[in-house]
């Protein structure tokens, strides 16, 4: 790890990773007490990916978490009580008890888009958010996550291609945690590095140790800066490991014991804590202060959630359909002159001829054999364009229209 962050930033990353794990440990206990009504998905061993990536964003930027990105929510400013009440379907939750898992966001203040259960669908959505921010002149970056299994969906490729074509200020974090539910990566993708998929769309990509929180932050910060500067979308493959099953109901017996033991030794919190002690950025006193701070916070947040009421029955029929301004107001937040995006300033010259179209090299590095019109071929010559003479063209047209004679008997 390189000493490029301040002591406060190092301790922030440490604090949020520990808070992430403590929140999930608390919810595990609540789940076993039948106080959580929906599914519960653990990010044990992956905390660095969520925390570091979100920490690289600015307050005005947008993110869309998946089910294992609670750490990103905490970094963005979501209080633990919202996470607890949401999973317990309480009336005080962000969705007022109408959802029992992680489907909630905050569009107005924290710029969080709610998760979408269909894996990969957040990619085109967040591409649209990024494009909208650019159109409005907000200079924002949009970010979301996808797993190794989700990177095999059609919408992953469609969305990433769309982002690439539009040069959207968008960062995609691909969490390669080695298992798509019970299917190992080797059984679903014939690639050593999933980041290679970015090559097909002509965008930049990084491969990073997802259990090294500083390396993860460094890569995410560079990707966010590049996207904000107009370099287009960036894909980051974070190599990590899911140390629990797909959800609480999954014992993950399909994972080899030796593999579990290997990754337990690469716990991201333990690795960063060791680094902090070695660099004299953390001592036992400050560690205890952080431990006590988290415990005090979560005791109060859990108590609030448990004491919160369930939604009244009559609430079920409300909020089903948007009723317009009475439901919520939607208004564009312009940060650029409207004249820039309206004619005549927004007009571009229409062209039909693209320089170099039809020339270039194939994926094997060999010059492409096909070229068009007056485009130079691989040997530097121009291809002859054969056009029929007017007379031949006319005769051919007449012949085509002339009916065939019936054969004489």
Output DSSP code: residue 117: S
Is residue 260 in a domain? yes
Taking the CB of residue 129, how many other CB atoms lie within 10 A of it?
Answer: 26
Nearest by Cα to 238 from 407, 28, 363, 66:
66
Into how many domains does the chain fold?
Answer: 2
| pLDDT at 281 exceeding the cut of 70 | yes
Who wins on pLDDT, 251 or 361? Answer: 251
CA distances from 209 to 46, 96, 175, 218 (A): 11, 38, 10, 11
Domain edge (last residue) among 326, 341, 364: 326
Parent domain of 374: 349-402
In sequence order, what are the residues at sequence separation of 6 or more whose Cβ sits closer than 8 angstroms to the Cβ of residue 206? 195, 219, 222, 223, 234, 235, 236, 237
Beginning with the edge strand found earlier in the chain, give each strand of the sheet holding 62-64 in spatial order.
Answer: 62-64, 142-147, 170-176, 234-239, 204-209
184 Cβ contact partners less than 8 Å away, ≥ 6 residues apart: 178
Q: Helices H, strands E: what count in the chain?
A: 11, 7
Position 387 confidence tier, pLDDT thresholds 50, 70, 90: very low
Same domain flag for 236 and 162: yes
User: pLDDT band for position 358 (50/70/90)?
Assistant: low
Whether 331 is covered by a domain: the verdict is no
- Position 265 in a domain: yes
Residues 147 and 225 in one domain: yes
Q: What is the DSSP letter of 10?
A: H
Structure tokens at 246: 């797909």
Tell me: pLDDT of 398 over 50. Answer: no
| pLDDT of residue 30 exceeding 70 | yes
Secondary structure class of 382 (helix, strand, coil): strand
Residues 396 and 307 in one domain: no
Residue among 172, 299, 305 nearest 232 (CA): 172
Question: What per-residue confidence (pLDDT) applies to 81?
Answer: 97
Considering only residues 297 and 4, tell me which one the structure prediction assigns the higher pLDDT: 297
* Residue 407 falls inside a structural domain: no
Report the CATH number that the domain containing residue 237 is assigned in CATH: 3.40.50.970
Task: Pick the more confident residue, 399 or 82.
Answer: 82
pLDDT, average across residues 302-323: 91
pLDDT band of residue 395 (cuts 50, 70, 90) is very low
Cα separation, 73 vs 54, in Å, equals 8
68 by Cβ neighbours in 10 Å (0-12 / 13-18 / 19+) ranks as buried
pLDDT band at 127 (very low <50, low <70, confident <90, very high): very high
Distance CA 68, CA 43 (A): 5
Max Cα-Cα span within the chain: 111
List pLDDT tens digits, range 105-121: 999 999 999 999 999 99
pTM attached to this predicted model: 0.84
């Amino acid at each position: 790890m390189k000493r490029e962050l301040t002591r406060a930033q190092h301790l922030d990353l440490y604090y949020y990773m520990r808070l992430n794990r403590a929140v999930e440990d608390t919810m595990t206990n609540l789940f076993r007490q039948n106080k959580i009504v929906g599914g519960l998905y653990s990010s044990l061993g992956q905390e660095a990916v969520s925390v570091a990536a979100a920490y690289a964003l600015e307050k005005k930027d947008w993110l869309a978490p998946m089910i294992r990105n609670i750490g990103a929510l905490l970094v963005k400013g979501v209080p633990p009580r919202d996470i607890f009440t949401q999973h317990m379907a309480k009336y005080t939750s962000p969705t007022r008890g109408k959802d029992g898992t992680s489907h909630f966001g905050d569009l107005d203040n924290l710029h969080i888009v709610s998760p979408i259960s269909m894996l990969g669908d957040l990619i085109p959505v967040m591409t649209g958010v990024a494009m909208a921010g650019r159109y409005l002149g907000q200079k924002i970056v949009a970010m979301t996550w996808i797993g190794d299994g989700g990177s095999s969906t059609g919408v992953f490729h469609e969305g990433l291609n769309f982002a690439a074509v539009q040069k959207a200020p968008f960062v995609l974090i691909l969490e390669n945690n080695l298992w798509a539910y019970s299917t190992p990566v080797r059984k679903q993708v014939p690639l050593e590095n999933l980041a290679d998929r970015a090559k097909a769309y002509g965008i930049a990509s990084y491969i990073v140790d997802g259990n090294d929180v500083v390396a993860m932050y460094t890569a995410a910060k560079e990707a966010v800066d590049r996207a904000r500067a107009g370099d287009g979308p960036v894909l980051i493959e974070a190599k990590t490991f899911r140390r629990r099953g797909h959800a609480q109901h999954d014992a993950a017996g399909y994972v080899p014991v030796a593999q579990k033991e290997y990754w337990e030794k690469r716990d991201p919190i333990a690795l960063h804590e060791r680094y902090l002690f070695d660099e004299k950025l953390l001592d036992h006193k400050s560690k205890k202060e952080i431990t006590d701070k988290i415990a005090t916070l979560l005791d109060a947040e859990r108590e609030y959630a448990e004491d919160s009421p369930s939604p009244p029955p009559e609430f079920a029929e409300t909020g089903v359909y948007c009723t317009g301004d009475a439901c919520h107001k939607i208004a564009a937040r312009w940060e650029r002159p409207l004249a820039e995006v309206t004619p005549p300033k927004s007009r571009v010259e229409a062209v039909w001829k693209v320089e170099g179209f039809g020339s270039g090299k194939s994926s094997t590095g060999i010059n492409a054999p096909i070229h068009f019109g007056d485009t130079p071929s691989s040997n530097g010559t121009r291809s002859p364009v054969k056009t029929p003479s007017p007379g031949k063209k006319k005769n051919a047209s007449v012949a085509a229209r002339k009916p065939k004679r019936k054969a004489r008997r």
